[in-house]
Amino acid sequence: MIVIDEERIFKEIEEKDPASVSLNGPDGILPQVQETAIKISEKFQIPTYVLADTTWGTCDMNSMGSKVLGADIQFNIGHTINTEVYEKNLILIDAYDDVEFDSVAKKCTEMLKGKVISLVTDSQHLHQVDKVEKIFTENGITVKIGKGKGQLNDGQVFGCEFYPASELKKEVDAYVFLGQSNFHASGIALSTNLPTYILDPYFNEVREITEFAQKLKKKATLAIYKAADAKSFGVIVGLKEGQLSKVFALKIKKDLEKEGKKVQLFALTDITNDRLRNLKGIDAFIQVACPRISTDNQFDKPVLSTPQANALLKILRNESIDGYFEIPHWL
């Protein structure tokens, strides 16, 4: 069950006495965010808005939405990073999953005995890392936890940022991800090219994600080769506040033009196949917003992410694209 740090929210409201507040969180915890919103409006008798658009990460907090509403404080829930106040009037609130990993951790000790592994997870299970490390160590598994960097805590990854995993690449045999997220675990497998297992406490099962990750890579590589034949490109800048990457968009435009390609610039908030279908005369797209839009979705035409775009340029220059995903940050 997801537990939101409501005490912190109530304390902030008591101290700052806002006229109205807004709350948002990832889709998976929206029902809990709604419950918290009801408690706030009953306890403080102030307008409490649930911002129900997506918020995929701290790159995408919809703070503009909160400003348009005129909310005095926005509580963004469930994107724990190593800082609490992200921008003025926007407070990051912890939400953790209270599910226990003891049973599933014990279940995989035989399989991992004698190996050196690194434990990694997302924000909602960070508090379980020490406990699982203890179980593993007591059962003959050597555990390493990678150091956090940028917004990441020790052992934490985002869908496009893997520093704690990448720094241990040469020291471990495999990664073990705590949680249910194929999304995060496949990113680890792709960025490290090492076996990666998911410890799923809900299904009480251990599953390897390596093959699934390789399928994502095959699809991504195919899109790069298809794009290499394109004559006209659309380079898309993302309009979400933390995904604006104009500098890279302009650089890739220049680089593609040098290779004889035609390039038009676009800007979009949500990059979906439906939106792209409206754009005519474009053979392939490059989007510099969220890399996972390209790797995890289906599009009619090639839609490349930043690491794929860099690989495309290499193909156009007859260079090798080996290991194009094997970098700690895909932006």
Q: Which residues contact ligand SF4 (rule: CB under 6 A)?
A: 56-57, 59-60, 158-160, 243, 290, 292
| Burial class, 163, CB count within 10 angstroms (exposed 0-12 / middle 13-18 / buried 19+) | buried
Tell me the closest approach of the beta carbon of residue 312 to ligand SF4, in angstroms. 19
Distance of CA 310 to the CA centre of its chain: 20
Cβ proximity to ligand SF4: between 184 and 261 the closer is 184
Distance in Å from the first CA to the final CA of the chain: 32
Residue among 23, 152, 159, 4 at smallest CA distance from 78: 4
Tell me the closest approach of the beta carbon of residue 11 to ligand SF4, in angstroms. 28
Tell me the closest approach of the beta carbon of residue 97 to ligand SF4, in angstroms. 18
Cβ proximity to ligand SF4: between 10 and 183 the closer is 183
Tell me the closest approach of the beta carbon of residue 58 to ligand SF4, in angstroms. 7
Cβ proximity to ligand SF4: between 56 and 197 the closer is 56
Q: Rounded to whole angstroms, how far apart are CA atoms 115 and 268?
A: 45
Cβ proximity to ligand SF4: between 32 and 243 the closer is 243
Question: Could you count the other beta carbons within 10 Å of the beta carbon of residue 125?
Answer: 25
Q: Is 94 helix (H, G, I), strand (E, B) or coil?
A: coil
Tell me the closest approach of the beta carbon of residue 205 to ligand SF4, in angstroms. 25
Cβ proximity to ligand SF4: between 57 and 302 the closer is 57
Cβ proximity to ligand SF4: between 160 and 213 the closer is 160
Strand partners, 142: 116
Q: Which two tokens stand for residue 95?
A: 């939400």
Tell me the closest approach of the beta carbon of residue 243 to ligand SF4, in angstroms. 6
206: which DSSP letter? E
Q: Rounded to whole angstroms, how far apart are CA atoms 202 and 162?
A: 24
Query: In Å, what is the CA distance from 167 to each residue of 146, 191, 286, 300?
Result: 7, 11, 28, 36
Residue type at 150 in one-letter notation: G
Run of H or E including 38: helix 30-44
Residue among 48, 24, 52 at smallest CA distance from 38: 48
Tell me the closest approach of the beta carbon of residue 330 to ligand SF4, in angstroms. 7
Cβ proximity to ligand SF4: between 49 and 56 the closer is 56
